[in-house]
Every structure is written in structure tokens, then in C-alpha cells.
Amino acid sequence: MILKNLLSEKRAAILERWFEMVLDSYPVDTSSFLKQQKNQFANPVGAAISQGINGIFEELLSGKDSDTISTFLDNIIRVRAVQDFTPSQAVAFIFHLKKVIREELEKEISENQLSDELFAIEARIDKMAMLSFDIYVKCREKIYDIKANELRNMTFRLLQRANLICELSEPEQALIDSKNLNVKRKEVTK
């Protein structure tokens, strides 16, 4: 795999450009902060992106499909899912990698006729993009869950004290779950 070797050689340049491109999606004042502040606790967003793209790149080179890739993608997407981005903007960073690779290795790819290898690498990036979309949706669903849970928790004790909630036996609970219902209302007979 000539291309993999080239990618490995140019790792530093590719990662730097990719990092810059991701940060360019933020306002100028913000991106300069995200780039300059190196302390991971003072700058968790910059750290998540930097560590995340490093990890993703390593996974790409390794050629293996592992769970680790989801973790790296999750660390970045979880942040971008609550920032000022549309869904497509939030996950667009993964496609930037294609652009960076093509631009950084343009000469080598044409000289060595590596289009097949490039296609294989890009197919892997596309797969990561699909995974990214799944992660993004999960993050947003989590937000909706948290909102719903907060409301439920706020009223739970009140309903409990007012005797409007009943405990379910396990078979009953299984029945409810199977019908995709979470709450069973007890009729007030008073």
C-alpha cells in the first residue's frame, strides 16, 4: 500500500491542515482561541478535536474496523451537536479529510497512479461519515431524552405522593415495554 505509506509520512502536515479546516468552521476569535490554548481543561473543544482527528487518522491507516473509531468520532460530534451548526455542518469535518489528502498528496497520487488506493481510502472515510451521522442523531436524541426526563423527574414525586403512580410487576413492565409505552396511568377512583 503505497498510499498508506505516503499518508503516514505526511501525517503531521495532513493533520495540521485538517485541524485548521475544522477550526475554520468557528468564528475567527473562537478559532484562534481553540488553536492557541493547549491546556485540555481550559480548552476542551480544541482538545477533543485535536485528539479526535489524530485518533481517526490512525484508525484510517490501520485499516481495521474497531470500536475506537466511534469513540474518537463521538468525542468531536458530541461537542458539535450542541454548538451553532446544522447537522451537515456538524459532521462535515470528516469529509474535509478527503480534500486534505487529495491536496497534500496530489502529485504523488498522479505520479504513482494511486487512484485505486485513493478510492479505497475514501470509501473508508465515507463509512466514517455514515457512522458520524448515526452518532450525531444519537447525541440529539440524548438531548431530547434529557429534556423529557427532567420534566418526568420534576413531577414524579408529586404524582407519587398524590398516589397517581403505581408500581408494576415485572411481567406487567415487560408488557408495557413491548408496547413501547413507559407510563401506566392509574385510574383515580375517588
Determine the Cα–Cα distance for residues 161 and 58; give it in Å rounded to an integer: 55
Window contacting another protein (CB under 8 A); options: 53-61, 114-122, 138-146, 163-171: 138-146
Three-state secondary structure call for residue 184: coil
Return the residue of 9, 84, 126, 177 that touches another protein, per CB under 8 A: 84
The secondary structure element, H or E, covering residue 91 is helix 87-91
Return the residue of 66, 113, 153, 180 that touches another protein, per CB under 8 A: 153
How many CA atoms lie less than 13 Å away from 88 in the CB half-sphere? 0
Return the residue of 8, 44, 106, 177 that touches another protein, per CB under 8 A: 44
Q: Report the nearest approach of another protein to the CB of residue 135 (Å).
A: 13
User: Which amino acid, one-letter code, is at 69?
Assistant: I
Judge residue 25's burial from the number of C-beta atoms within 10 Å of its C-beta, 0-12 exposed, 13-18 middle, 19 or more buried: middle
Return the residue of 42, 130, 137, 166 that touches another protein, per CB under 8 A: 42
Q: Does 189 bind another protein (CB under 8 A)?
A: no
Q: Does 91 bind another protein (CB under 8 A)?
A: no
